[in-house]
Amino acid sequence: MPIVACPHCSEQENLQGNNVDGTITVTCGECGLVWERDMTQRCPQCQTTDVRAAWQATLDKSRGTQLSIQSLNIVWLCADCDAEKLRRYLDSNVPLPPDALPVNPD
């Protein structure tokens, strides 16, 4: 799913953005349409705006095989599509594990 696409012609590459006082105005280089980008977080599966922010850890090997949290990222969890993951996050009050663990290069 593209991060942003022209709502008129679906162009994804030839777009120019301008940020003025926190409002992003996008101009399509293909059809000339100008619009304000909606920064509302949505579920990528069902497009609902009923999403909650959650911290997700980024892990890396610090010594040998020991994994350590290197950073935290915000991910958006849908109340319907990610219900189980959201429940575990809210119950534990700790960052979510990463989607994939680091591996040793061969």
Residue 15: strand, helix, or coil: strand
| pLDDT value at residue 89 | 94
Residues 92, 53 share a domain: yes
Domain of residue 17, residue span: 1-39
Taking the whole predicted model, whether its pTM rises above 0.85 is answered as: no
pLDDT band for 2, please (50, 70, 90 cuts).
Answer: low
CA 71/CA 69 separation, integer angstroms: 6
| pLDDT value at residue 1 | 47
Residues 23, 62 share a domain: no
Residues 85, 52 share a domain: yes
Residues 87, 67 share a domain: yes
% of the chain surpassing 90 pLDDT: 58
Residues 48, 34 share a domain: no
* Tens-digit pLDDT profile for residues 44-81: 899 899 999 999 998 888 777 788 888 999 999 999 99
